[in-house]
């Protein structure tokens, strides 16, 4: 009997974030009959540790710098001693770390890089610091959106055979079994209001101010009929967070908003909300839209990223142009004007769409096919990924 393929997910940290959640979801959903799963956070531990299945071997490297030689050696030693076959990195810093390990001959495992880069609109360049590790330290490139895949081929110059588009998926089980939290009681929101939930760390990319300004644009009666709960790290960028809080006061809507910090029970929060909102200015995913839909929430969000583009014509949410607070205000007003039945129907359509197109098992089979191809276990590459890329 053949031994199981040993796969290690590698991220910067186990703190809550889109890329980290994707890594955790893949780690949890790889086929256990054929895979043994490891997870390495090269810098810090975090709340997502508790989301990993109990059979996942976890290590936290606590490297202090990008090129922390001692940790590099310790990592290599562990990978060799465990006989890891595939290292699956998430995030560009982590990719460089592993590429360096490969370049130094510390490890020989196949390296799959999963690119979630969300600032391609600002930085389409690919200097030597990006090209060299991608060419010489990465065996397969996965982009979560077609723009990234095109960048990898056209700008970086990777051969098409190395590049696959794999959209993020969502583990429906997490959302089917999560008990609902009564947000009105938990956060003292009062009865009768529509509770909107935004799950996004306080980082500039998430563009909370556009949502705040949109709420401020609503008619006073509409404003008073909603409460917004914002779940996400408030310490990731303290200056940004403080700016957001000052803005809430300036707009005189601070009484409508609760910031609850980072949580590891997002599915339960979503189960207790009436609608999901998301105002990011630029995303490659964004995974949270799928999570809202998996939770049967009607959604008002900015149209950014592969997922938003993929679902925009499906009638499962109201999508508006990023950074346009007037358009987002119109979207919120449209949501408020819907009946409860209409909102529920929108949520149900969203859930159905996730089942059909974004279920985690669909995604993980694509990833497994890439592993198999790298290790010569399959003659075919990730055909689904390739065809998606061609269509994208």
Which residues of this protein are in contact with another protein, per CB under 8 A? 121-125, 204, 207-210, 212-213, 239-240, 243-244, 247, 250, 281-282, 303-304, 321-324, 326
Q: Which is nearer to another protein, 51 or 280 (CB)?
A: 280
Q: Which of 76, 83, 78 lies closest to 5 in space, CA to CA?
A: 83
Cα–Cα distance, 302 to 118 (Å, whole number): 14
Token digits of residue 103: 């370049």
Q: Which residue has the tokens 């056209």?
A: 154
Q: Which is nearer to another protein, 51 or 282 (CB)?
A: 282
What is the nearest approach in angstroms of another protein to the Cβ of residue 327? Answer: 9
What is the nearest approach in angstroms of another protein to the Cβ of residue 322? Answer: 5
What is the nearest approach in angstroms of another protein to the Cβ of residue 296? Answer: 28
Token digits of residue 98: 């592993």
Q: Which is nearer to another protein, 65 or 239 (CB)?
A: 239
> Which residues are 170's β-sheet partners?
359
Q: Which is nearer to another protein, 45 or 204 (CB)?
A: 204
What is the nearest approach in angstroms of another protein to the Cβ of residue 10? Answer: 29
Residue 190's region, left for phi above 0, alpha for psi from -120 to 50, else beta, is left
Cα–Cα distance, 218 to 238 (Å, whole number): 28
Q: Which is nearer to another protein, 74 or 236 (CB)?
A: 236
What is the nearest approach in angstroms of another protein to the Cβ of residue 121? Answer: 5
Q: Long-range CB contacts (< 8 A, 24+ apart) of 357-361?
A: 357/310, 358/167, 358/168, 358/169, 358/170, 358/290, 358/293, 358/307, 359/169, 359/170, 359/172, 360/25, 360/29, 360/169, 360/170, 360/171, 360/172, 361/29, 361/169
Token digits of residue 91: 């995030």
Q: Which is nearer to another protein, 171 or 303 (CB)?
A: 303
What is the nearest approach in angstroms of another protein to the Cβ of residue 180? Answer: 31
What is the nearest approach in angstroms of another protein to the Cβ of residue 93? Answer: 20
Q: Which is nearer to another protein, 125 or 339 (CB)?
A: 125
Residues 6+ apart with CB under 8 A from 96: 66, 129, 133, 137
């Amino acid at each position: 009997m053949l031994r199981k393929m040993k796969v290690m997910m590698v991220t910067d940290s186990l703190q809550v974030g889109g890329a980290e959640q994707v890594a955790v979801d893949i780690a949890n959903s790889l086929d256990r009959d054929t895979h043994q799963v490891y997870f390495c956070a090269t810098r810090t531990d975090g709340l997502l540790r508790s989301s990993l299945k109990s059979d996942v071997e976890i290590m936290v490297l606590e490297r202090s710098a990008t090129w922390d030689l001692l940790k590099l050696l310790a990592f290599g030693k562990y990978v060799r001693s465990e006989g890891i076959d595939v290292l699956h990195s998430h995030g560009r810093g982590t990719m460089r770390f592993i590429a360096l390990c490969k370049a130094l001959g510390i490890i020989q495992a196949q390296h799959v890089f999963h690119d979630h880069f969300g600032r391609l609109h600002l930085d389409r360049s690919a200097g030597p610091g990006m090209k060299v590790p991608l060419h010489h330290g990465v065996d397969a490139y996965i982009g979560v959106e077609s723009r990234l895949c095109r960048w990898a081929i056209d700008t970086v110059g990777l051969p098409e055979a190395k590049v696959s588009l794999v959209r993020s998926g969502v583990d429906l089980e997490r959302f089917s079994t999560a008990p609902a939290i009564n947000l009105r009681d938990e956060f003292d929101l009062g009865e009768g209001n529509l509770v909107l939930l935004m799950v996004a760390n306080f980082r500039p990319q998430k563009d909370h101010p556009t949502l705040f300004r949109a709420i401020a644009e609503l008619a006073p009666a509409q404003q008073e009929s909603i409460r917004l709960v914002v779940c996400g790290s408030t310490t990731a960028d303290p200056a940004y967070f403080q700016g957001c809080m000052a803005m809430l006061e300036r707009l005189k809507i601070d009484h409508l908003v609760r910031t609850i910090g980072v949580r590891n029970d997002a599915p339960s929060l979503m189960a207790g909300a009436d609608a999901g909102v998301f105002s990011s200015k630029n995303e490659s995913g964004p995974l949270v839209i799928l999570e809202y839909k998996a939770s049967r929430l009607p959604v008002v969000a900015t149209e950014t990223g592969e997922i938003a583009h993929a679902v925009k014509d499906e009638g499962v949410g109201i999508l508006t142009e990023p950074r346009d607070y007037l358009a987002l205000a119109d979207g919120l007003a449209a949501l408020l004007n819907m009946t409860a039945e209409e909102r529920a129907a929108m949520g149900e359509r969203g859930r159905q769409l996730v089942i059909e197109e974004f279920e985690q098992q669909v995604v993980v089979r694509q990833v497994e096919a890439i592993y198999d191809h790298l290790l010569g276990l399959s003659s075919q590459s990730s055909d689904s990924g390739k065809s998606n890329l061609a269509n994208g």
